[in-house]
Each structure stands twice: as C-alpha cells, then as structure tokens.
Structure 1
Amino acid sequence: MASITRNTFALALLCFLLIHQLEIYGMVEAEQIDCQKKCEYRCSKSWKQKMCLRACNTCCQRCNCVPDGPTASRDACSCYAKMTTHGGRLKCP
C-alpha cells in the first residue's frame, strides 16, 4: 500500500513539473490579459493613439503580454519585443 502511495505522489510531482515546463516555453495557454486596458495605458502618451492602439492590441492578442506603462521597455515581453512588420521594423509600440 505504501508503494502505491509513493508511486502516485511521484507521478503527481512529475505531472506538475511537466506542466510548469510547458508554461515556461509558452506551450500551455496562460490566462488572457485585458488587452484593451493595457494598451490604452501603454498608448496614453503616444502622439498617434489610434495607430498605437491598433498595433498594441494585435501584439497583445498574439503575445498575451504588454509592457507596463507608456515608457516601459519592450524587453519586458520577449514576444512583444521581437515582433516585426513586413518591412522589418518593430511592430509593437
């Protein structure tokens, strides 16, 4: 009986570790953030707000991440920081 309990515990621990690793590599979908609010704040100081909001919302939906604040570094979200336009320019504000 003790070996069954030990095996069950070991299996549960391995499942937890697997799920954790999949989350790290983005293979398990995380909780969706409120892109509208995050992007409104991100673009609040932009001189082209409509364009900024459109690009930010696209990036947010694809990456599920937006850097905090209007002047925060893009590097806070690696996917957001790496996304480019067809012309090779950075897409996300």
Structure 2
Amino acid sequence: MAQSSKLQSIFLLLLVAFMLLVDVSIAGGEGSLTKAECPKACKYRCSDTQYRNACLEFCNLCCKKCLCVPSGTYGHKEECPCYNNWKTKEGGPKCP
C-alpha cells in the first residue's frame, strides 16, 4: 500500500510540473519571447485570418516591440498588455 501511495505522489508532482510548463509556454506574457521567436508565434497567430499578410506584418512589428504574442489565433490580448494597448493614430488596435 505504501508503494502505491508513493507512486501516486510522484505522478501528481510530475503532473503539476507539466501543467506549470505548459502554462508558461502558452500564455507567456510580456517579454516571454525573443525577437527571433516572433515570426513563428505570429505565423500561428495569423494562421486563421483571410488578411494573412497584413496580420503577419503588424503582428511581427508588435511582437518585436512587446516580446509577446497572445495565445490562440484571436483574442486573449489581455495576456500581453503592451500588445493590447498599442493603438493606431486613429485610436484603433495596432496589433492583431
């Protein structure tokens, strides 16, 4: 019985460690990327839009400034305040 409990504890510890790693790599946050990682992150961010070229251009511009790209292909901008708060001259969102 003691060995089963020990294995369960080890399994739970590994599961928690894995969940923490996944959370950090997906959500990231400001400064979580390097400039070299921006193209790959933006390629995924812009993968589901019909305006791919414009999306990629502005996403890469924003990523290089903020070192962050929100998770997913749409929304989640609260993960990257710099990315979310950068506005055009007209006051609209600059980053996709």
Select which of 44, 51, 55 maps to 2:58: 55
> How far is the alpha carbon of 1:30 from its aligned partner?
6.7
**Count of residues paired in the alignment:** 66
TM-score, structure 1 as length reference = 0.64
Find the residue that maps to 2:95 and give its secondary structure.
coil
Q: Let me know the Cα RMSD of the aligned residues.
A: 1.9
Q: Does structure 1 retain, via aligned residues, the 8 Å contact 2:86–2:93? A: yes
Query: For residue 83 of structure 1, what is the amino acid of its counterpart?
Result: W
Higher RCO structure, 1 or 2 (CA under 8 Å, sep 6+): 2
| Alignment of structure 1 residues 1-93 onto 2, 5 Å | 32-33=34-35, 34-93=37-96
- Which protein is richer in helix relative to its size? 2
Identity of aligned residues (%): 39
Structure 2, unmatched stretches of 5+, are 1-29
Query: For residue 32 of structure 1, what is the amino acid of its counterpart?
Result: T
TM-score, structure 2 as length reference = 0.62
